[in-house]
Amino acid sequence: MKVLIIEDDRTIVDYLELAFNMNMPEVELLTARFGEEGVALTQRESPDVVILDLGLPDKDGFDVLKELRMFSQVLIIVLTARGDEKDIVKGLEWGADDYVVKPFRQLELLARVRTLLRRQAAASEPAIINYGGFTLDTARNHLDTGDGEPIELTRTEGLIMALLMRNKGKVVAHEKLSEIIWGENYPGSINALRVYIGRLRRKLETGRNSRPVIQSKPGMGYHISGEIKNQN
């Protein structure tokens, strides 16, 4: 397994290398100080996870994130000193799978890496889910609405859609969604969920699919259109 760290602060790189060497020695670590170098390494080495700093010396980390998403679905954890909610939302909207705000704890970041890897392994198992006129291919994260070309979802969007479809109209609690996506219900996860739900709604509720598909139950969670039942 390969993990690429795109970070210009040598102290943080050393900190991460120590954490991986002690707790995940099976990981091959790659490092890049510049954004362009990180993009090139991703193309050449195909890492399993990219840990991306937003404050790089040659270009903005958001631009690097956007470039990576143009050709790769690699797992990306944004590592940032920018704790502002707008930056976090922007990172998620542009395709990050998770984010960690500096300063951070080694074991917390490693836990996030393990969670994303487990999630990816589970999502790669072939499964077709049908509900409400939709067909979701969880291996490819393709959603067939019956209106033509399948909608391509990100891994996180696919996880959310799969959980909502499997619950067949029941309300899925915020906590349950957070645990599936991040492995825990951490502070701020509800705001992050709103970002992903917003992206899904924009993809699903366009053109002929103008009917509301994903609905919210205030203070509880989300469900796909249909009879609303509380999940036990």
Domain end position, chosen among 97, 122, 147: 122
* Residues 163, 168, 174, 177, Cα dihedral to 10°: -10
| Token pair in block for residue 22 | 């002690």
The pLDDT value given to residue 16: 93
Same domain, 9 and 102: yes
Cβ proximity of 125 and 142 under 8 Å = no
The pLDDT value given to residue 103: 82
- Which residues in the chain come in under a pLDDT of 70? 82-84, 121-126, 148, 183-188, 206-212, 226-232
Same domain, 56 and 96: yes
Q: In CATH, what number is assigned to the domain containing residue 155? A: 1.10.10.10
Q: In CATH, what number is assigned to the domain containing residue 26? A: 3.40.50.2300
Where are the strands (E) in 55-149, listed by range? 75-80, 98-101, 128-131, 134-137, 142-144
Q: pTM for the whole thing?
A: 0.67
Tell me which residue has tokens 């996030």.
112
Same domain, 12 and 109: yes
Same domain, 9 and 114: yes
Structural domain boundaries enclosing 59: 2-122
- Other residues' Cβ atoms within 10 Å of the Cβ of residue 108: 12
d(CA 36, CA 42): 10
Task: Put the strands of the sheet holding 170-173 in their side by side order.
Answer: 214-217, 221-224, 170-173, 229-230
Same domain, 71 and 164: no
Same domain, 203 and 132: yes
Same domain, 60 and 34: yes
How many domains does the chain divide into?
A: 2
Residues 120-147: tens digit of each pLDDT: 766 555 588 888 788 898 877 888 887 7
Same domain, 13 and 28: yes
The pLDDT value given to residue 41: 96
* Residues 227, 229, 231, 232, Cα dihedral to 10°: -140
Same domain, 75 and 53: yes
The pLDDT value given to residue 9: 93
